[in-house]
Structure 1
């Protein structure tokens, strides 16, 4: 793996330093930059990071809004949330563009493996979403069920008494939440996650 760059943003100095030390020891070809605030990170003039590890719960910062700011600043960087577990925030962070969410309470070895995988270009781990109930609305669950039965958007719209445009919006939201790129992948993911029979 060629040299990579990680930006770690967390306001807890002990946690930040511990994670940075682990990464430097286990990923010697990786440069790790630490920042305690989003403003410090945004002002960073060095090489754009390949991966950003972000705590959502920092003083004076809306971590969810921070995801968009970081992606605007470094569009090619993948944002991974490493934070206290909050089901609502997990779901919203994924919807806003974070590729994975990891609890600060999880095994450090698992976090390290996921960081290595992401730096190697592997896709995000679906388990990070499936670990919590998915933020699908009841209507999206209905659409997903019909999608899994092979119905087209038009057929779903007729069955649910909705416009085709509305169904298309629901399908797009479902693809985003399940981190899939097409209807077939979404149906496979839904079956794998036990969302449909």
Structure 2
């Protein structure tokens, strides 16, 4: 089945380069291009599987368009494309619904790998190293129950599904999730999953 990608970037050369990389490395992929959010939202396709969204668009912040893009294509995943390794940008993007990140300094092979993982629903949560706990900070301490919740959270389960697995109420699970996020010093489930894997707390 052909997957439809939408690339939003105001640099024609970058769009052309990404198009060549995709054509050479992935089959059954259709790519649409837009130089702005306004142009992207005029895309006639009824279904978009993946949006590659530049953060620094001429005349505005690309992150401001995530809600509109998700509104038009609710099932689309959004990969933020950026050269900025800024923790605040990452946190804001995750909070607005981004699924991951592609750094413009990545090799073509790595970019293809990330896009293929996103299309296959296998994209791990990604944040930049600046979001990770510093080595000098005290080790993360989680209760056995929080470890169980974190493991299921990393598998992508909702609070309701975690509750069913552990025979806990959804409210109780929510409390464990919030406590776990606090202990990991992150603000979202996707960040928690990434940090947990980097720290060896989850597979």
**TM-score, structure 1 normalization:** 0.71
Verify the 8 A CA contact 1:134 1:177 in the aligned structure 2: no
Q: 1:149 aligns with which of 115, 125, 143?
A: 143
* Structure 1 residues 102-142: Cα deviation after superposition (integer angstroms, max 9, x where no partner): 210111111101111211222x223x22533159xxxxx99
In 2, distance between residues paired with 1:176 and 1:74?
25
* Structure 1 residues 45-72: Cα deviation after superposition (integer angstroms, max 9, x where no partner): 1232100000010111221211111111
1:78 aligns with 2:77: yes
CA 1:170 to 1:19, structure 2 compared with 1: closer, same or farther past 3 Å? same
Q: Compute the RMSD of aligned alpha carbons.
A: 3.3
Q: How does 1:8-87 map to 2 (within 5 A)?
A: 8-87=7-86
Deviation, structure 1 residue 23: 0.7
Aligned to 1:106: 106
* Structure 1 residues 124-183: Cα deviation after superposition (integer angstroms, max 9, x where no partner): 223x22533159xxxxx99xx56x12478xxxxxxxxxxx99x94981893862428xxx
In 2, distance between residues paired with 1:91 and 1:173?
17
CA 1:173 to 1:18, structure 2 compared with 1: closer, same or farther past 3 Å? farther
Q: 2:199 aligns with which of 175, 183, 194?
A: 194
Aligned to 2:178: 171
Deviation, structure 1 residue 12: 0.6
In 2, distance between residues paired with 1:149 and 1:100?
28
The number of residue pairs the alignment matches comes to: 168
1:179 counterpart SS class: helix
Aligned to 2:158: none
Verify the 8 A CA contact 2:85 2:128 in the aligned structure 1: no
In 1, distance between residues paired with 2:9 and 2:194?
32
Verify the 8 A CA contact 2:15 2:33 in the aligned structure 1: yes
In the alignment, structure 2 segments of 5+ residues that lack a partner are: 147-170
In the alignment, structure 1 segments of 5+ residues that lack a partner are: 136-140, 153-163, 181-185
